[in-house]
Amino acid sequence: MVLDEAARRGIEVVTLAIKGEADPALAQKASGQFHTIGIGQLSKCVRIFRDAGISRAIMAGRVRHISAFQILRPDRLTLKVLARLSSRGTDEMLSTLADVLGEEGVELVDSTLLLRSHLTKEGPMTKRGPDKRERADFDFGVKMARGLAGLDIGQIVIVKAKSVVAVEAMEGTDAAIRRAGDVVDGPLTVVKVARPRQDMRFDVPVIGPTTIDSMVAAGATALGLEIGRVLLLEREVLLRNADERGITVVGI
C-alpha cells in the first residue's frame, strides 16, 4: 500500500525488503531502487540509504517477533541495538532501532503518513452492525485488550460471553484467532487495539483479508478495531469478504 500511494503521489522510493519476511512480489511492485537485506544487517541498510541520499524512511509491513531471536550474524549497528535492550519486547526493540537509525542520520517517520485513508473509521464498516451480544463483548474486550497491549504482550483478545478465550502473543493475529476456535465453539468476538503509547512509526496494528478467513474458521462473528489506530490492508476486499460471511467489522 505504501508503494502504491507513493507512486500515486509521484514520490520516488528506495525499497529495502527484509529477507524471509517481505513478500517476494515486492520486487516487481517497486518502481525505484530495490534491495534485500537480512534481519541483522542494519549497517547495510544505513549504507544503502546514505548512498541514495535518503534521510527519511517509513517502516511498512510486519516482521515476525520470533525473528528477533533468530539473528545469527548481527552486524555492527545491529549489535549496537541489541546491546541497549533490557528485554526483547516489541516496543523497546523498535524504539531502540529508531534511535540508532536517527543517530546515523535516518529519521523514521509515521508509518501511516501515506495511509490515513486506510485507518479504521468510527462505527460499522460492513453492512451488518453488531448485535446486543457483540456490543457487550466489544465493551468487555476493549478493556481486556488495552490491558494486554499496555503490557507489550499483544494487541488482540478473543472473547465469548464476556470471557477471554485467547490473547495474542508472539504467534500473531490470525493464529491467535484460530487458536481460540480450538478452545471453544463460537460465536466469538475479536477486538484489536493499539498500545496505550503506540508509536505510529512502527508496528501499527494491521488486519487484512486473511483475518476474516481465520475468523470464519474459528466461528467468530464480530471484529472490533480501535478507531483511527488500525490499518486495513486491502480494505475493499476485506470488507466485501466480511459482508459475504455475515461478519460485522466495527470501529470502536
CATH of span 2-108: 3.40.50.20
Query: What's the rounded Cα separation, in Å, for the pair 32 and 22?
Result: 17
Using the predicted structure, report yes or no on whether residue 13 has a pLDDT greater than 90: no
The pLDDT assigned to 167 comes to 95
pLDDT band at 180 (very low <50, low <70, confident <90, very high): very high
Q: What is the largest CA-CA distance in the chain?
A: 57
Mean pLDDT of 201-225: 93
Peptide bond into 74 cis (omega under 30): no
- Look at strands 163-167 and 123-124 and give their pairing: unpaired
- DSSP H/E element including 98: helix 90-103
Model pTM greater than 0.85? no
pLDDT tens across 52-88, in order? Answer: 999 999 888 766 655 555 666 889 998 999 899 887 6
**Range name among 12-16, 157-161, 229-233 with the lowest pLDDT average:** 12-16
Which of 49, 41, 38, 66 lies closest to 15 in space, CA to CA?
Answer: 49
What angle is formed at CA 65 by the lines to CA 203 and CA 218, rounded to 5 degrees?
85
Domain 116-251, CATH number (from 3.40.50.2000, 3.30.530.20, 3.40.140.80, 3.30.565.10): 3.40.140.80
Can you give the residue ranges of every domain in the chain?
A: 2-108, 116-251
pLDDT tens across 80-99, in order? Answer: 998 998 876 677 788 888 99
C-alpha pair distances (Å), 245 with each of 38, 56, 128, 209: 39, 41, 11, 12
**Mean pLDDT for the chain?**
89
At residue 164, what are phi and psi to the nearest 5 degrees? -80, 120
pLDDT band at 212 (very low <50, low <70, confident <90, very high): very high
